[in-house]
Amino acid sequence: MSRSDVLVSADWVQDHLDDPKVVVVEVDEDTAAYDKNHIRNAVRIDWKKDLQDPVRRDFVDQAGFEALLSAKGIANDDTVVLYGGNNNWFASYAFWYFKLYGHGDVRLLDGGRKKWELDSRDLVDGSAVPERAATEYKAQAQDSSIRAFRDDVVAAIGVQNLVDVRSPDEFSGRLLAPAHLPQEQSQRPGHVPSARNIPWSKNANDDGTFKSDEELKALYEAENVDLSKDTIAYCRIGERSALTWFVLHQLLGQTNVKNYDGSWTEYGSLVGVPIELGN
């Protein structure tokens, strides 16, 4: 696997907007962003409504994912290109989710919506929704090798690499959520003992594009992450850590990396687990 298999430039997307086997999909933290405007011929996946079970805290099941992609007109052999706002946080989350259910060819638009906008590239009005014929999408069972659960995290303390990708202020316990969200939260602040704080933002340039493979490798080496060990990445709800998972697993080719989607909103609410405060 190489960078070009999973990451495409804005120019590449521009050249493939009318390619029927390439489906551009917008996945935004702000699920209404698509309604304002979006890349021409892009379809929307709503990370809350489409990707989460409506009752339990969990993902839609395999049949639910099949129904979603079928309705969106995405076929098993389509190339799916994901993009979104906030430096591709939720597009990365969707990338990981597509891989969890075994989609073959899925890629990220490097820099996401922000880079596209900062380049002053064309966006179409929100009402311009493409019509794609429904498919009969077949998903695979969830790939448990890339998803961590709370017991995996507790067992990994002091044993595996734990990478906390939140901002230093969330890691230390000064903030309970990213600073564009209100801070009142029910969970305890802090981080998992033995976790290294390597904010997701260190993976990216200001314009949201990913740093080079050499820069990324140097980043994790400088932070003393032993990539020969198993690694679990987490953040608050698993979207920023999906971006770090993308870097470690997809760009740097580490096979032993899991994303903990329960992340701090689950861990910080567990009774009796160890928590550390401060830097």
Active site residues: 235
Residue whose C-alpha is closest to residue 142's, from 70, 64, 88: 64
Find the shortest distance in angstroms from Cβ 169 to another protein: 6
Q: What is the largest CA-CA distance in the chain?
A: 54
Collapsing DSSP states into helix, strand and coil, what is residue 71? helix
Residue 2 CA neighbour count, 13 Å, CB half: 1
Residue whose C-alpha is closest to residue 89's, from 248, 9, 207, 200: 200
CB closer to another protein, 158 vs 182? 182
215 Cβ neighbours under 8 A, 6+ residues apart: none
Find the shortest distance in angstroms from Cβ 87 to another protein: 7
**Cα angle at 231 between 224 and 256, to 5 degrees?**
120
CB closer to another protein, 125 vs 143? 125
Find the shortest distance in angstroms from Cβ 77 to another protein: 34
CB closer to another protein, 28 vs 261? 28
Q: Is 200 exposed, middle or buried (0-12, 13-18, 19+ CB in 10 A)?
A: buried
Give all strands of the β-sheet with 79-83 in edge-to-edge order.
7-8, 105-109, 79-83, 22-26, 43-44
Tell me the one-letter amino acid at 17: L
CB closer to another protein, 156 vs 225? 225
CB closer to another protein, 194 vs 201? 201
Find the shortest distance in angstroms from Cβ 46 to another protein: 18
Beta bridge partners of 26: 44, 83
Distance, in Å, from the CA atom of 254 to the CA atom of 239, rounded to the nearest integer, reads: 19
CB closer to another protein, 33 vs 39? 33
Find the shortest distance in angstroms from Cβ 185 to another protein: 11
Site for another protein, rule CB under 8 A: 30, 33, 85-87, 114, 117-120, 167-169, 174-175, 177-184, 199, 201, 206-207
Residue whose C-alpha is closest to residue 97's, from 61, 54, 132: 61
Find the shortest distance in angstroms from Cβ 182 to another protein: 5
119 within 8 A of 10, measured Cβ to Cβ: yes
